[in-house]
Amino acid sequence: MTFFKSKKGKILIAVLASVLSLSLLLTGGCALYLADYYKTDKEQSGRLCAELSSTDVERTTLSDGTLLFMPPDPAAGFIFYPGGKVEYTAYLPLMEALAARGICCLLLKMPFNLAVFDVDAAKGLADLYPEIEDWYIGGHSLGGSMAASHLAKNTGDYRGLILLASYSTADLKGSGLSVLSVYGSEDGVLNLEKYEKYKENLPKDHKELVIDGGCHAFFGCYGAQKGDGTPTLTAKEQIEQTADAVASLTVINELKP
C-alpha cells in the first residue's frame, strides 16, 4: 500500500484511470456508432415485394439469418452483401425481383450491419446448391467492395461480380470474370472520384449502367440516405432496371462478351 501512496504510485493510478476512461469512451462511442443504422422501411418494402415477387419462388431463412430466394429451375445464383450500416432486409424487394427473373439469391446478414466484419461470409454457400453451376457475387456500396475483396481470393468459385453504387479496391482486371457496375445518375453518396480511379481494377470489358434519375438509397428500402441526391424515378423503377441488368448478365447473357 505504501507504493500507491508514493509519487510513482499516484502517477500510475492516474495513468490507469486515464486509460480506463479512454477505453470506456471508445467502447461507448463504438456502441453508439454501431447502433445507429438505416432500418428497413417495412411499409415500402412490403408493398414493393408484393409487386415484384413471384409466387413460384421458395423463400427460406438459413440458420445464420441468410435469406434464400429459390426460383424453380434457377439459371444462376447470386450472393448479395448489403450496404454498410443498412439493415439487410431492406434489400428484400431487389431479391424478389431477381428471383422472379430466375436467379437464386442469397441475401447475407452481416455482423453489426457491416460487411467489413465478415468479408468471407459467402465462403462455401454456393456448395450448398450444386444444381446451380454459375454463381455471381456482389453487393451495394460498402457491401459491393467487400464482396469484390472476397471474390479476388476466390475467383474460381464465381462467374462474375455485380457492383451496385460501389467499386472494387481489389485487382480483378486479369480475372476473366464478367462484371456489371450499376449506379444512379443522382447518387450523392458514391464517391465518383474513387469510382473512376478503381475502374482500372475491373476487366476492360466490364459493363456499366447509369440509371437515369436513380439515387444511392433506391437499391433498397431504408428511406433517404444522408448526402444522397434527389431521385427523379421511383424505387420500384430503379429496382426493376437493376434486376433487368443483372438478369441480362447472369441469365440472358446479353451483356457477356
Query: Is residue 233 located within the same domain as residue 181?
Result: yes
Q: Write out the E strands in the chain.
A: 58-61, 67-70, 76-81, 103-107, 135-140, 160-164, 178-184, 207-211
Q: Work out the pLDDT band at 1, boundaries 50, 70, 90.
A: low
- Average confidence score pLDDT of the chain: 90
3-class SS letters over 44-72: HHHHHHHHHCCCCCEEEECCCCCEEEECC
- Confidence band for 29, pLDDT divided at 50, 70 and 90: low
pLDDT above 90 for 102: yes
| Same-domain status, 59 and 138 | yes
100 lies in the same domain as 197: yes
At residue 250 the predicted structure's pLDDT band, cuts being 50, 70 and 90, is: confident
Grid coordinates belonging to 236: 420500384
Judgement on whether residues 22 and 109 belong to the same structural domain of the protein: no
Q: Could you tell me if 69 and 171 lie in one domain?
A: yes
Task: Please check whether residue 79 lies inside any domain of the structure.
Answer: yes
Q: What CATH number does residue 214 fall under?
A: 3.40.50.1820
What cell does 73 get?
429451375
Q: Does residue 36 have a pLDDT over 90?
A: no
Question: For residue 246, what are the contacts with CB-CB under 8 A and spacing of at least 6?
Answer: 78, 98, 101, 103, 136, 162, 180, 182
pLDDT at 34: 53
Residues 56 and 158 grouped into a single domain: yes
Residue 28 confidence (pLDDT): 55
| Residue 96 shares a structural domain with residue 183 | yes
Q: Are residues 27 and 118 in the same domain?
A: no
What is the model's pLDDT at position 254?
Answer: 43
Reduced to 3 states (helix: H, G, I; strand: E, B; else coil), residue 220 is: coil
Of 139, 125, 123, whose CA–CA distance to 80 is shortest? Answer: 139
The verdict on 13 and 83 lying in the same domain is no
Among residues 105, 111, 117, the alpha carbon closest in space to that of 67 is found at: 105
pLDDT at 111 over 90: yes
Count of domains in the chain?
A: 2
Domain that holds residue 11: 2-31
Report whether pLDDT(202) > 70.
Answer: yes
Residue 257 in domain: no
Q: Is the pLDDT of residue 15 over 80?
A: no
Same domain, 76 and 175: yes
Record the pTM: 0.86
- Are residues 119 and 235 located together in one domain of the fold? yes
**Integer Cα distance of 204 and 21 in angstroms:** 52
183 and 89 co-located in one domain: yes
For 175, the grid coordinates are 480475372
CB 199 within 8 A of CB 183: no
Reduce the DSSP state of residue 164 to 3 states and report it.
strand
27: confidence class by pLDDT, cuts 50, 70, 90 = low
Question: If you average pLDDT over residues 238-256, what whole number do you get?
Answer: 81
